[in-house]
Structure 1
């Protein structure tokens, strides 16, 4: 026979697990957020670049290093879908775009991927949210949407 206290703990644990699963499903569906995934490591991901797949789809290979993201400026048109592939060449860094609910880790030897749609024009700041050394506060990049500057 299970003790009444143990039964309460099991019931509360089950409820907590269900709430957690609901929150994940809510974030993926209602909030239109993509849950980051890990991609098998390949050295080709360590070269920073922007690939244009078609008029509204881009791949950004973002490389974090002390104390910068490369590429530092990403120019795309409004309505674009961007697949971000993030890695680090040295220590652990964060990859955070507040306006888009993007929060990923950039780790050496690991590739993290997420997909984001940029519907509205503007400048979306990318910041590092993991303390990575004395120059951490200056580690930023930008996604510039619908501006008339050419892709560098």
Structure 2
């Protein structure tokens, strides 16, 4: 065999080897997306739990929305702050607390908690009235809970807490202190009289 023929065979072998390598690399490039796709596969049980989790979140958001706007459930809020030593200052609504009419069917009620009573100890509200309560304490921590309603708030010195409630049914609603505040804690209460012909409160 001549040298020329041997060189031709070597070149053919090199060409085949290069072609094989190129084909192998091309196969790797083709298979790579398939491997990536297999890694992104979500098992049907995982997909089911994802759907359940999303469903629970949606139901929770709907429940919060309905309770806030339709049912009227609300969290107590801090309206403002006030120095307990200034409760009796002229111009302070807590100097002469009570019920005030803002507009027909809308009222605001200021209550001052103190050992061991609420001031005022009673208010009269017309049936169907919406009352916004502003409550503070002049001494220690108290509670402010109106029975048969969702009004329930902590009363702290220096802090004005607020809640709103609409009284749709006539009757007597007790305001009780549900935070222990000393020896006569059990005597600390007031009464809201919801009446058809309740006297009109002071207009502001």
Which bin holds the TM-score, normalised by the shorter protein?
A: 0.7 to 0.9
The worse-fitting range, judged by mean Cα deviation, of 61-70 and 141-150 is 141-150
Using the TM superposition, give the Cα deviation of residue 52 of structure 1 relative to its aligned residue in structure 2, in angstroms.
1.1
The worse-fitting range, judged by mean Cα deviation, of 58-67 and 39-48 is 39-48
What TM-score do the two structures reach when normalised by structure 2?
0.60
Q: Which runs of 4+ in 1 moved over 3 A?
A: 18-27, 147-152
In the alignment, structure 1 residue 31 sits paired with structure 2 residue 80? no
| Structure 2, unaligned runs of 5 or more | 1-52
Match of 1:116 among 162, 165, 174: 165
Is 1:75–1:147's contact at 8 Å kept on the other side of the alignment?
no
| Structure 1, unaligned runs of 5 or more | 1-13
The structure richer in helix per residue is: 2
Match of 2:183 among 96, 110, 134: 134
Output the CA distance in 1 between the equivalents of 2:156 and 2:121: 18
What TM-score do the two structures reach when normalised by structure 1?
0.78
The 5-angstrom pairing of residues 22-101 of structure 1 reads 24-42=64-82, 43=87, 44-47=92-95, 48-101=97-150
| Residues matched between the structures, number | 138
Output the CA distance in 2 between the equivalents of 1:86 and 1:40: 10
- Higher Rg: 2
Relative contact order, higher structure (CA 8 A, sep 6+): 1
